[in-house]
Amino acid sequence: MSYKFDLAGHSIYALTYHLILVVKYRKQVFTDLEITNTFKEQVFYVAPNYDIKIINQEVDKDHIHILFKATPKTDLVKFINALKGSSSKKIQHRHPQVKKKLWEGTFWSPSYCLITTGQVTLDQLKKYVEEQGKK
């Protein structure tokens, strides 16, 4: 089993995540390429402040997906909240027509989905751990 690790002063790690954010009430806000680009720009603006490297991101009409790498020191909740707040403000400022689609000016649903990803499957990892005592 092999991993691709990142390095820090006294640690090596592989922390990759899949983040899904949904527009409140699934309003279809991302129907215009300019709005989508504004969001994507904001992701790249916010991410470095939290030691996050964006791997990939894509936008659907009512939600977004972001794949990213983090460090052990990354405060994921602060990153997500900063991203939600700043992207909402930036989009509504640059594209005021979006406000007509929102419920009382609220852009994002208060919830989110954050999934850890791995370079191996859970079954592979279980098998690897089980075999450690047999050597």
Q: What CATH number did the domain enclosing 82 receive?
A: 3.30.70.1290
* Confidence at residue 135, expressed as pLDDT on a 0 to 100 scale: 59
Dump pLDDT digits (tens) for 32-59: 999 999 999 999 999 999 999 999 999 9
Model confidence band, residue 122 (pLDDT cutoffs 50, 70, 90): confident
Q: Across the chain, which distance is largest between two alpha carbons, in Å? A: 64
In the chain, the number of structural domains is 1
Domain that holds residue 84: 7-132
1-10, 65-74, 110-119: which range is least confident on average? 1-10
- E strand or H helix that includes residue 53: strand 53-59
Assigned domain for 2 exists: no
Q: Is the pLDDT of residue 133 over 70?
A: no
* In-domain check, residue 39: yes
62, part of any domain: yes
Whether residue 1 lies inside any domain: the answer is no
How far is it, in rounded angstroms, from Cα 58 to Cα 54? 11
| Rounded percentage of the chain residues whose pLDDT exceeds 70 | 97
- Is 3 marked active-site? no
Residue 78 in any domain: the answer is yes
